[in-house]
Structure 1
Amino acid sequence: MAKKSRRKGKGKDVDPLSKPVNPPADPELAALREEKILPIIAKLRDAAVISRSQASSDVARIVGDEKCRKLLLREQIVHIILRETLTDPSLQSRAAGWTILRNLTLEENPDFCIHLYRLDILAMMQYASQMVSEVLSGNEKPFIKTTKTEKYCIREIYTSLAPLAESLATASDEIKEAITSRPAIIKLLCQLATSPDVEEDGAANALEALWRMSEDNQSLVELLLSDDETRIYKHLGSTQTSSVFPRAICSSAVLHSIYGQMGWHDKNPGPKGETEVTNLQILAKAIKGTNLEEALCDRGDRWQRRLTLLEVALEVLASIATTYQEVILDDSKSEGPTEPAPGRVGTKEDFDEEMADERDEWNGFSDDDEMMVDEKEHPRPGSGQVPYGDEDDMDMDDIAADMDIVTGQIDEGVDQKLSDLPTLEGLFQILPDIVRLAIGSWRGEERDVDGIESMRKNAIDAINNIAWTASTLDLEDPQYEDIAQQWRPLAKMLWKKVVSAILNSGTDDISLASMATGIAWAVSKSIGGAVPFSGQEHKCFIALFKLLSNTNLNPEEEASDDLTDPFQHPGVKCIGVVGQLARDPNRLDINKELFDFLLETSLDSTTRPAEMIEALNQIMEIYADEDNPSEKIFWEKEKVLGRLEDAHARGRKSVKTVDRRKEPELRERGDETLMNLFRFIKYKTKHRPKDS
């Protein structure tokens, strides 16, 4: 009889500090380890308090050096700090330990923060926060009467805890929720933000942490609004207008998160009339008061801190613009008709039901791997087997109504009255100053200034978001004439000073070129034929698209938001700009070049599905205008109809490769685009250009 196999018991966790650390193979690193790292580690674990305190301070100073930092991590410095330094009787040692952890999280990637979280760093932060809160509260004696050394150590601890909390919270949503559930940590951050005994930078650090943690965090926002002990919410409002640069900017950032989470804006202000207008005024003041020339002669800590806060201001401005774009869109929907306009399908379900028979005809969207309907029985549109006029019993009015649905030209009777838009007006007013910060980001002589390039990219990102918010409004509608008059000169300035300047710089920075393309698309969409188009910019967009098609991006670029969302990919932006320019008055040779690019892109088997979808949508928009001279000249000459039929067939294959479970939006939009293209081809077969 076979013996039962013994189940191995759970092995004991190996103590990381008990394992010997092998020296690095690199002779230089091995020498550095022997000369500098090992002596510090030995002193850090010395029995003498003075030695431990001195070693902790030494470690805090050298973690900024990458080689030293990596060697310290090899020597298990994190475990030493968590087990020994942070529990040291010496307050000075503990303060240095928190400084080390703060610096490590700032230098290392988010995975390091997750590693700390798994080592239960929050429990130690909770304990340290309680200790600092008690000292600041002055329960035993006022903080101002503590010794000079104690003041220094307490400040070292809280100026480390706040950035540490921020780094941990931004590493993952799980950690953010875990910190929110630790009342002592939240209380300390609120206390730092409101206490008169805390210096400006310490308060700004705490506010910055609260800002990051309150983004998409309803629980924390409710805690801040209901806090009766520190009255943090009331303090934020008063700090904005009475405080100096650091605290005012960070207070505006926290208030922006609160307003966004609570849904307070121009159309739905808070209980005391709270909107983003005051935030915009504070941020505008900070940006107007910034002189970038100082960066070329002052690279000290003071300037670097100011540059960091300027990035915060620009990031908040970009977020305000995005949030307000959603407000405009939601307001448009809420003021729309409850019943479908005449001639238009009211809901997606109605639309699907109406199209059920036609969907069977072209059979493009089964989840099965193979098409189940024979094309001989159900020919695709334009295949020549069945004349379009005999495909169904739709009359001319029905087909015309379909075209209205495809191109979005039907009047829904929506009266969008946005007569009072102070937030949008505030964004317009601050835009020239943001452009001033952005227009040098491609100048090589300034790239060596720490933080300048990052700050300027934040400025370009804010410009992009403001431009897209403006493009959300139909500025050709007479009710928006006042806003249009303010926006047109700003949009032209963006095209000349930002878009053209970046394109003409010959930059090899794909991220920068992508942001410029996004701005160009928004500008051309919002002001149409008023774009100051020189006749050459389109070549840059086409060249960028081809470059992206033939370039393998590095992991950081692949992980960016522009590449994780297929419709935000730089290639899609290039197609969007080209399509918009093709609709505006241009020379016929330029329009032909633009249209050929769009059609070739939609037919290319290597085109990404999102790019193919955008190209087809742009083509339909261009040729929906029956007065477009390009249509009358090129339709028959270039055999556009036949090429669109080929694009429809190519599109079906491309969309079928998209898994609707993994990428539901991409699949849905692909299905919708091909359905619209089916109707478009049908309509254009019966309504060929009159003058062709």
Structure 2
Amino acid sequence: MGKSKKSRAGHRSDPVAKTVKPPSDPELAALRESKILPIINNLKSADPKSRSTAASVISSIIQDTKCRKLLLREQIVYTVLTQTLTDAALESRAAGWGILQVLAQEEEADFCVHLYRQDVLTAIEFASKLIQDKVLSKEAPFAKLPKAEKGFISSIAASLVSLLMALAEAEEEILESISNNNPITSLLFSLITYTSQDDEDPISAIRGDAMACLMVLTEDNTNLAKYITSTPGSIACYETLVSLKDEVSGDGVLACTVLHNIYASLLEVKNLSPKIDVADDADLISTLTKAMAGFVPGQSEANGSGCLQPTDDLSLKIQGHALSALNNIAWSVSLIDFSEDSNNDVLGAWTPVARALWQQVVSPILASDTADVDLATQVTSIAWAVARALHGETPLQPNEHRKFVSLYQATKGAPALQDPEDPFQALGVKCVGVLGQLALNPAPVDLNREIGTFLVTLVAGLPGTPTADAVEAFNQVFDIYGNEEYAYDAEVFWRSDFLKHLEGTMSKAKAMAKSVNKSQQPELRDRADEVVMNLTRFLSYKKKHKPVQMTVRERS
């Protein structure tokens, strides 16, 4: 399936709990003696000033790989959790949270699992209450606090948000614990709804990060979606998101992604507040497509406002959020059964939106011949979802289908970047999927012939064709040529002798299925086995429904 998926990394047990011993490498041993141990000793000092200075120094060197690994060997995490985060000096606590935040970003996911097992959420909960007390205080307004104190408070808030996002992405259990922790989610809500009190207010700059964190937490999370939209303490956050959704900006894109997650999670929920319209996804697409226009060569926003240019990491992240949201919206709609009359209104509303999505996002990026595989993967997934719903109404440009063929050939066999463990998330599979949808009735005969030939060539190329690609190609062939009444059935399937070529793939398909280790890749094996079964049925069906003119021609 094409929908973006959350990655859940594996982990080993307690990755940083090791016996402290000097490194064998002379250079590292010297660095440990001259720099690391003195800092660690100062961090544990009874002198508050020494502790604060040490914490600040560590936060400045922690990004250096050698220093970071040596600090981890010296149990820096334990020291920070048990001493630095409870230090009386706000400066020390700010540095401590900064240290943990950098470690979570630089180390692998199992580090976050280790932090979680060390009960870091309790410390985050306590710090969250502190931040809210300071930021929301009416007796001592945040704007009137000393500049240094405001800096430390905003630093802690930024570190907490970044750390929470890393924790949530590391493991599903951690995500659930975070989303069920009211003081922690309340911090995110407060940062999103916060109104800047002056031109240099550092807290207002954290809103985007808070929304990005909430985006991760709200994906497939019905309980949190219900909480945000129905609890008096959080409804203000929902209203802020709604007010931001029309802004063609980073915050606008992030608001749209969070709102989509909320709408998708509440789609089957009954007795919602009348303020919540879970069908509002269409309203989000305008902002997302306008934001994407700033990333596409030759495109500009219709309203003439400033475009988001992908000249830095932040802009590239926003681009990724916009594409991911558009992809998920498109796939949510594409899974609706439009053959049922009850869904005609949905199809009618979606069709012009989907056409615009293809014209404003898919076509320009395809025309740019991007070398960015991740971007190509996301836009191909969107194209697949749009084509699933539109079929013959897809606004395909002349020869545009060949762009997907070229993408497939250029990246054949490459694993999925976002989810390498799932072969069906690879760009190759998505290219096959969108091509198959473009070839469906009422596709022109010439277009159908070209795509059909490509698909049959793929399956005939086994075992040289990757298994997931072949599975998708077989399934698309079954869908395209499963009805003998389609105009292209006789003109393409029979005149091009596809039956003979497909019969020749039977033994290859069986060997393909048997080659997949069922215990290691159960979904791939199940789908490969299903293809073998369906191929047998498909060939039998086609032989029984051969066009009369073809049968007469053979006899004569």
Tell me whether the two structures share a fold, i.e. TM-score over 0.5: yes
1:190-589 equivalence runs, <5 A = 190=186, 193=189, 201=203, 212=216, 233-241=231-239, 248-249=240-241, 282=242, 285-291=243-249, 307=250, 309-310=251-252, 312-320=254-262, 323=265, 327=268, 423-424=278-279, 426-441=280-295, 443=297, 446-475=309-338, 480-551=343-414, 553=415, 557-558=416-417, 560-561=418-419, 563-585=420-442, 588-589=445-446
TM-score normalised by length of structure 1:
0.61
- The corresponding residue for 2:509 is 651
Gaps of 5+ in 1: 1-12, 226-230, 242-247, 250-281, 292-306, 332-420
Query: Aligned-pair distance for 1:538?
Result: 2.1
Helix, strand or coil at the partner of 1:626: coil
Structure 2 Cα separation of the partners of residues 458 and 207 of structure 1: 11
2:459 is the alignment partner of 1:602: yes
- The corresponding residue for 1:591 is 448
| Cα distance change, pair 73–440 in 1 and its aligned pair in 2 (3 A) | farther
* 1:641 maps to which of 496, 499, 504: 499
Pick which of 574-583 and 74-83 moved more: 74-83
2:471 is the alignment partner of 1:616: no
Letter matched to residue 429 of structure 1: D
- The corresponding residue for 1:170 is 169
Helix, strand or coil at the partner of 2:505: helix
Gaps of 5+ in 2: 1-16, 197-202, 271-275, 299-307, 551-556
Structure 2 Cα separation of the partners of residues 616 and 664 of structure 1: 19
Structure 1 Cα separation of the partners of residues 125 and 278 of structure 2: 39
- The corresponding residue for 1:3 is none
| Cα distance change, pair 192–58 in 1 and its aligned pair in 2 (3 A) | same
Helix, strand or coil at the partner of 1:290: coil
Helix, strand or coil at the partner of 2:449: helix
1:63-82 equivalence runs, <5 A = 63=62, 73=72, 77-82=76-81
Structure 2 Cα separation of the partners of residues 20 and 79 of structure 1: 18
Query: Aligned-pair distance for 1:38?
Result: 7.2
Query: Aligned-pair distance for 1:310?
Result: 4.7
Query: Aligned-pair distance for 1:125?
Result: 4.9
| Aligned partners of 2:355 and 2:395 also within 8 Å | yes
| Aligned partners of 1:110 and 1:171 also within 8 Å | yes
Structure 2 Cα separation of the partners of residues 195 and 581 of structure 1: 45
Helix, strand or coil at the partner of 2:541: helix
Letter matched to residue 278 of structure 2: T
| Aligned partners of 2:179 and 2:185 also within 8 Å | no
| Cα distance change, pair 574–147 in 1 and its aligned pair in 2 (3 A) | closer
| Aligned partners of 1:461 and 1:515 also within 8 Å | yes
- Tell me the percent identity: 35
Structure 1 Cα separation of the partners of residues 188 and 123 of structure 2: 18
| Aligned partners of 1:438 and 1:457 also within 8 Å | no
Structure 2 Cα separation of the partners of residues 566 and 91 of structure 1: 48
Structure 2 Cα separation of the partners of residues 453 and 164 of structure 1: 20
| Cα distance change, pair 77–234 in 1 and its aligned pair in 2 (3 A) | same
Structure 2 Cα separation of the partners of residues 55 and 438 of structure 1: 44
Helix, strand or coil at the partner of 2:508: helix
Letter matched to residue 574 of structure 1: C
Structure 2 Cα separation of the partners of residues 61 and 656 of structure 1: 54
Letter matched to residue 441 of structure 1: F
- The corresponding residue for 1:9 is none
**Cα deviation code 1:465-501 (max 9, x no counterpart):** 2222333345576655554443333222222222222
| Aligned partners of 1:132 and 1:154 also within 8 Å | yes
- The corresponding residue for 1:685 is 543
| Aligned partners of 2:392 and 2:442 also within 8 Å | yes
Letter matched to residue 573 of structure 1: K
Structure 2 Cα separation of the partners of residues 103 and 603 of structure 1: 50
- The corresponding residue for 1:60 is 59
Q: How large is the RMSD of aligned CA atoms in angstroms?
A: 4.6
- The corresponding residue for 2:101 is 102
Query: Aligned-pair distance for 1:147?
Result: 8.4
Aligned length: 509
- The corresponding residue for 1:346 is none
Query: Aligned-pair distance for 1:452?
Result: 0.9
| Aligned partners of 1:99 and 1:157 also within 8 Å | yes
| Cα distance change, pair 117–536 in 1 and its aligned pair in 2 (3 A) | same
| Aligned partners of 1:578 and 1:594 also within 8 Å | yes
Structure 2 Cα separation of the partners of residues 196 and 443 of structure 1: 32
Structure 2 Cα separation of the partners of residues 443 and 596 of structure 1: 32
| Aligned partners of 1:609 and 1:654 also within 8 Å | yes
TM-score normalised by length of structure 2:
0.74
